[in-house]
């Protein structure tokens, strides 16, 4: 994921954008809106709201994956388009999303990939239509911009999880089936495989501060989330559980972004904290560096709230499908969290 391109596109691309008249009246927090349920045989829409997909075989992989899950796939009109690093113009990418939500025959939207560019289309999204036609939307990384904006403007629960071109191994497929087909109140616990070592080292949880907490789970990719600070699309984190993940960021950048969340008041509002995976986030050189442990201790420990790191959330092959905006309970000592209420209308 190229965060630098994302930040550049956010800073330059939104200049001169009028706020769409479809944005709903601003309020501290919308009432939670449950999406309609999914079942095998439904039509689902495959869209490209962020970066372009360079390898054409990836389009086929995404379509075949959804068909293997039991869906009839409807392709976005512009899903193979390209403008620079983006999957088409802002208007084209927003049009595909808006049409999929407006079409009552399409029961869910799956994002083919992340990358960068989703924030550019936020003013062009028809939030009123989304509120009238609540349906699941699935994706992660740059799709955090859509999760934040849609939940903030409509209250709709969305789903942070594998993109269409991501890994659909047995773990992810089982997560999907439990969530969407079986409508379970899913309990999220890391899969641990001992392998040929004396002790379990993979997917280990680290408790930052002990305890349990419950609240609405909000968050996503740290870079994308903090870039929305100060906009109408940044969520209200009051009494929430904040979850974060990232990739390819030096610790000093993680420090800067957590500083933003502290300075804008987010961290002072939350009741619990879950840090997923920070893939390839080792220091790249220079005079010296704080560790990720140091940074999380500096920002999270003083909050005196339950907190843990190491959840299977982020740029990893096996990942949780997190219903953004759902009520959960977390246990920082066990390194687990679970749904407290249903996330679908029926």
Give CA torsion, residues 230, 320, 246, 169, to 10 deg. Answer: -140
> CA–CA distance from 168 to each of 62, 65, 165, 174, 320 (Å)?
10, 8, 8, 9, 12
Q: What's the full length of the chain, in residues?
A: 346
Tokens of 2: 């190229």
**304 backbone dihedrals φ, ψ, rounded to 5°:** 55, 45
User: Is 240 one of the catalytic residues?
Assistant: no
Alpha helix stretches (DSSP H) within 43-124: 57-68, 90-102
Of 197, 208, 2, 217, the C-alpha closest to 115 is 2
Q: Which of 78, 141, 240, 329 is catalytic?
A: 141
- Of 161, 186, 148, nearest to 329 by C-alpha is 186
CA–CA distance, 95 with 77 (Å, rounded to integer): 9
Comparing C-alpha atoms, which of 306, 312, 309 is closest to residue 272?
306
Does 64 qualify as catalytic in the annotation?
Answer: no
Are 339 and 327 a contacting pair, CB within 8 Å?
Answer: yes
Please identify which of the residues 95, 245, 249, 329 carries the catalytic annotation: 245
Radius of gyration of the chain (CA): 19
Let me know the angle formed at the C-alpha of 277 by 198 and 265, rounded to the nearest 5 degrees.
Answer: 135
Nearest-angstrom CA–CA distance, 63 and 60:
5
**Half-sphere exposure (CA, 13 Å, Cβ side) for 174?**
9
Active site residue 245: yes
Q: How far is CA 240 from the centre of its chain?
A: 15
CB–CB of 50/116 below 8 Å? yes
| C-alpha to C-alpha distance for 292 and 297, rounded to whole angstroms | 8
Q: Which of 50, 249, 315, 329 does the annotation list as catalytic?
A: 315
What is residue 172's three-state secondary structure? Answer: helix
Active-site annotation, residues:
141, 245, 315
């Amino acid at each position: 994921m190229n965060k630098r391109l994302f930040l550049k596109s956010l800073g330059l691309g939104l200049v001169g954008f009028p706020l769409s008249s479809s944005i709903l009246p601003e309020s501290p927090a919308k009432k939670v809106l449950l999406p309609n349920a999914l079942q095998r045989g439904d039509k689902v829409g495959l869209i490209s709201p962020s970066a372009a997909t360079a390898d054409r075989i990836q389009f086929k992989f995404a379509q075949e994956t959804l068909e293997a899950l039991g869906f009839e796939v409807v392709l976005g009109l512009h899903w193979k388009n390209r403008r620079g690093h983006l999957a088409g113009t802002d208007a084209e990418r927003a049009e595909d999303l808006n049409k999929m939500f407006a079409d009552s025959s399409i029961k869910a939207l799956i994002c083919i990939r992340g990358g960068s560019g989703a924030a550019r289309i936020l003013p062009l999204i028809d939030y009123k239509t989304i509120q009238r036609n609540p349906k699941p939307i699935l994706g992660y990384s740059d799709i955090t911009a859509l999760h934040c904006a849609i939940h903030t403007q409509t209250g709709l629960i969305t789903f942070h999880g594998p993109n269409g071109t991501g890994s659909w191994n047995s773990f992810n497929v089982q997560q999907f089936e439990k969530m969407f087909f079986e409508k379970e109140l899913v309990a999220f616990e890391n899969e641990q495989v001992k392998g040929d070592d004396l002790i379990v080292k993979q997917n280990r949880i680290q408790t930052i501060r002990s305890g349990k907490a419950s609240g609405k789970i909000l968050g996503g990719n740290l870079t994308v989330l903090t870039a929305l600070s100060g906009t109408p699309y940044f969520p209200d984190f009051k009494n929430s559980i904040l979850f974060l993940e990232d990739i390819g960021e030096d610790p000093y950048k993680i420090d800067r972004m957590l500083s933003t969340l502290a300075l804008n008041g987010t961290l002072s509002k939350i009741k619990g904290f879950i840090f997923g995976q920070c893939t390839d986030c080792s220091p790249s050189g220079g005079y010296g560096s704080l560790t990720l442990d140091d940074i999380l201790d500096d920002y999270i420990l003083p909050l005196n709230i339950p907190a843990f790191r190491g959840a299977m959330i982020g740029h990893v092959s096996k990942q949780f499908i997190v219903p953004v905006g759902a009520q959960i309970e977390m246990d920082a000592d066990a390194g687990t969290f679970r749904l407290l209420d249903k996330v679908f209308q029926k």
